[in-house]
Amino acid sequence: MAELMKTIGIWLSAYFTLSIFSFLYKDNPFYKLAEQIFVGLSAAYWLVYTIYNILIPNLFNKLFTDFANNWILLIPMVLGIMMLMRMFPKLEWVSRYPMAIMIGTTAAIAMLLSFQSDFLSQIAATIVNPFKFSSPVDIVGTILIIIGTICGIYFFYFSKKPEGFYKIPSKVGIWFLMVSFGASFGYTVMARISLLIGRLDFLLRDWLHIIK
């Protein structure tokens, strides 16, 4: 029975895979159906996981088994329920309270952490004496990092007209950005192709058994 169900499952997967691919020819009912099923499954997945992985262990279980020590959790629960009021236009304002707490918390944490990791540490990482290296590749590379970082930041500096001398760092900055975009372009191509490999591998191997 389980074997049969597995085969059915694989055919089901193949059906869905081909339905989505059919969009490449043109938009059609198979694609539309597959897409809507995807939306439905995805929503239910989130819901089930939220209930079983968070609400039950972190909230309800604590409240039901040890209320005396956990009654304080009633506050986030009420705030959470207030959040749901957003669904009703008249009570929408109620949801602003929990929203404000979430936004305030995230804002403060994001501010501290990104200032540390993306600002302070990045500055520290750029402060390197390029001449301490012995290999010419490292020396040139480190000098490129310093020039590129400074000019790149200058490109995003909006308080000065890029005229005369000030045109130079801005121009150099954009060149570095372009090289970097080129690199991410190449990597993106790589990523998208990988996804296709995965799907074709499934079709050829698991479904059609052309390869073992």
Partner 1 sequence: MSNDINLTKTLRERRIIFLLLVLAVAIPIIFPLGLKTHSTPLTEKAFELIESTPAGSPVIISFDYDPSTVTELQPMAIAIIEHAWRKNHKIIAMAMWPQGSQMADMAFAEVQKKFGEEKVYGVDYVNLGYKPGGMVIIQAMGRNLKTVFPKDTAMIDYDDIPILKNIKTIKEIKYVVSLSAGDPGLRDWIMTANGKFGIPVAGGTTAVSAPGFLPYVNDQNQLSGLLGGLKAAAEYELLLGYEGTASRGMNPQSVAHIFILMLIVAGNIRVWRNRKKEKMAKEVKNG
Partner 2 sequence: MKSKIPQFLAFISGVVILVAAFIPHTPFGMFEETLTNWFMIISSFAILLGQSSLIQSNLAKISQKAPDWKYHIATLVSFGAMLIFGLLWGMENTPGILGQGEKIAENLGAKPFDYLFEYAFMPLSSTMFSLLAFYIASAAYRAFIFKTFESNLLLITAVIVMLGRTSFATVLTSWIPDSLHFLRLPELTDFIMQYPNTAAQRAILISAALGVVGASLRIILGIERSYLGGDK
Partner 3 sequence: MKNLHLILLFLLIGIFAFATSEGTETYTAEDAPWDDGTAVLHRWNLSAKWEFLSLQKADSLGVYQEIFNEFSPSGQFKETGLNPDTKYQYRLVAYNKERSDSTSLFSETTTQQQWFAMNKLPLLILLVIVCSSVLYYILSARKGKELFIRRISGLDSIDEAIGRATEKGKPILFVPGISDLGDIQTIAALNILNQVAMKSAEYGTEILVPCRFSMVMSAARETVKDGYLKAGKPDAYKEDNIFYVTDDQFGFVAGVDGIMLRELPAANFFLGAFWAESLILAETGFTTGAIQTAGTGQPHQLPFFVVSCDYTLIGEELYAASAYLSRDPQQLGSLKGQDFGKLLTIILILAGIIAEIAGLGWFKNFFEGVF
CA distances from 198 to 15, 127, 202 (A): 16, 42, 6
The 10 Å CB-count burial string (b at 16+, else e) for 42-67 is eeeeeeeeeeeeeeeeebeebeeeee
- Among partner 2, partner 3, partner 1, none, the one that 25 touches (CB under a kind-dependent 5 to 8 A) is partner 1
Q: Can residue 187 be called a binding residue for partner 1 (CB under 8 A)?
A: yes
74 binds partner 2 (CB under 8 A): no
Task: Please say which residue, 97 or 207, places its beta carbon nearer to partner 3.
Answer: 97
Retrieve residue 63's tokens: 């409240």
H/E element, 135: none
The entry of partner 2, partner 3, partner 1, none near residue 61 (CB within 5 to 8 angstroms by kind) is partner 1
Given the complex with partner 1, which of 120 and 140 has the nearer CB atom?
120
Phi-psi region of 26 (alpha: psi -120 to 50; beta: other; left: phi over 0): beta
Question: Is 68 or 127 the residue whose CB approaches partner 3 more closely?
Answer: 127
Place of tokens 């909230």: 59
Spatial distance between the Cα atoms of 106 and 118, rounded to a whole number of angstroms: 16
182 binds partner 2 (CB under 8 A): yes
129 binds, among partner 3, partner 1, partner 2, none (CB under 5 to 8 A by kind): partner 3
Instruction: Look at residue 30 and give the partner it binds from partner 3, partner 2, partner 1, none, a contact being a CB closer than 5 to 8 Å depending on partner kind.
Output: none
* Footprint (CB under 8 A) of partner 1, residues 154-173: none
